[in-house]
Amino acid sequence: MSSPQILNIGICGFGTVGQGVWKHLSAHLGDLESRLGVKLHLARASVRDLTKKRDVKIPARLLTTDPLAIAKDPSIHIVCELIGGTTLARQVTLAALRRGAIVVSANKALICEHGPEIIAAAQQHGGHFFFEASVAGGIPIIKVLREGLVANRFTRIYGILNGTCNYILTQMEDRNASYAEVLADAKRLGYAEADESLDVDGWDTAHKASVLAWLAHGVWVKTDQMIVEGIAGITPADFKHAATLGYGVKLLAVISRDFVSNELSVRVHPTLLPESNVVANVSGVFNAVSVTGDVVGTTFYSGRGAGQDATASAVISDIADAAALLKHGKGSHLLGEDQGIRGGGCRLTPPERIRSRYYLRLTVQDEPGVLARIATVMAKQKVSIASVLQTPAEQAGAAALVLTTHESNERAIGTTLQQLRALAVVLAEPVLLRIGDFEQ
């Protein structure tokens, strides 16, 4: 690979992140060039509307409404795909890779849905694909897995990967406020989108978990192969009950691999974490990831997970890596070449082998014998009750039963929930949370 004198950078998508990349790259250009030993040139950017006013000003001659023109331009060495979505973004990414360019992306949904195709295109045509900004924003977790901890086999990776959900849960706990109230506040403050479902239903976290699972284990796990549950069913009462039991509540991605059975599970769900757990104490819009490797043990990473500056920082980090690759012709970022080795025939863990303890909140009729009927249902599935709390429910004539279980499995607890819903004495949808018995 010949080393160009000036590296031309094209930005496809000039929204919040795209403008952040242009702004920070321009501000630190001299310092970056000095460190990298190469000249960087912000050549072009694509926008949807040429007439729209933007916070970051760039010459009109550098703007286009056609991102594919940037992707196909042979003079552009590094293409930043910051469009979002999975349709046009896919076209842009593949067009650039097929001419041997480097693509930098912050698009976790694109990687989750089209990762194998993208990596194959990069390998076939000599392009390269960087995606540090796709997971956990300002935390360099992708570099950690593919470079810093490359000597390790990862038994567990878990953490908070969505700042919107973490903000909502933190505010619900701190203010004793309802989910709906905090969600409305989050939208006003710009922490939540107008359509919040991608975040609060767990899908954004699931996309990111898919990326991490591939990096750590060489296996593409689609979201329909995961347990994916969101936070909308959690109430202030759950935080009070959790605190009584010594726990906090977080929406986690959990990636676990058993190297004896060679099974991998990827799941996303609200989780009770012991108050002493470091991840349990990460609040607001911050993300946190705990990584356990067989060589290093457990390491922990925390930082802003989203927003213009955090995401732009990760994109610029990838641009710097891309520049080093173009200058020196080598790097540790080359994706796909050895990732299949990590997979090693790994298969997905069946539900009966995904084990956990559980927190179960039931709204039931306040009458004698109810607990016995519930215990009978649970006993039939060999789900053993560890503790019981009973408090008044909001509706008249009802009580709230909070049960924790001894270790069980996903198949048994799923059947238990189905049978509990069928009981006339259960008055509302049960709330099930996993208990995270992680060392840290």
Structure tokens at 274: 């012991």
135-160 burial string, b = 16+ CB within 10 Å, else e?
bbbbbbbbbbbbeebeebebbbbbbb
* Distance in Å from the first CA to the final CA of the chain: 44
User: Would you tell me the crossing angle of helices 16-27 and 29-36 to the nearest 10 degrees?
Assistant: 70
Alpha-carbon Rg of the chain, whole angstroms?
24
> Do the strands 398-405 and 247-258 form a parallel or antiparallel pair, or are they unpaired?
unpaired
Q: Are 290 and 300 in contact (CB under 8 A)?
A: yes
Phi, psi of 160 (to 5 degrees): -95, 115
Which residue among the candidates 143, 208, 380, 382 is catalytic per the annotation? 208
Structure tokens at 103: 């693509």
Strands ordered across the beta sheet of 78-81: 63-64, 39-46, 6-12, 78-81, 102-105, 128-130
Q: Are 264 and 207 in contact (CB under 8 A)?
A: no
Beta strands in 5-126 (DSSP E): 6-12, 39-46, 63-64, 78-81, 102-105
CB contact set of 295 (below 8 Å; sequence gap of 6+):
149, 151, 152, 153
Structure-derived torsion over alpha carbons of residues 373, 377, 383, 386, reported in degrees to the nearest 10: -10
* Calpha distance 159→253 (Å, rounded): 6
Beta strands in 66-222 (DSSP E): 78-81, 102-105, 128-130, 154-160
* Calpha distance 113→110 (Å, rounded): 5
Amino acid at 34: S
Q: How many of the other CB atoms lie within 10 Å of CB of 224?
A: 7
Q: Is 208 a catalytic residue?
A: yes
Query: What is the biggest distance separating any 2 CA atoms in the chain, rounded to whole angstroms?
Result: 82
- Which residues form the catalytic set? 208
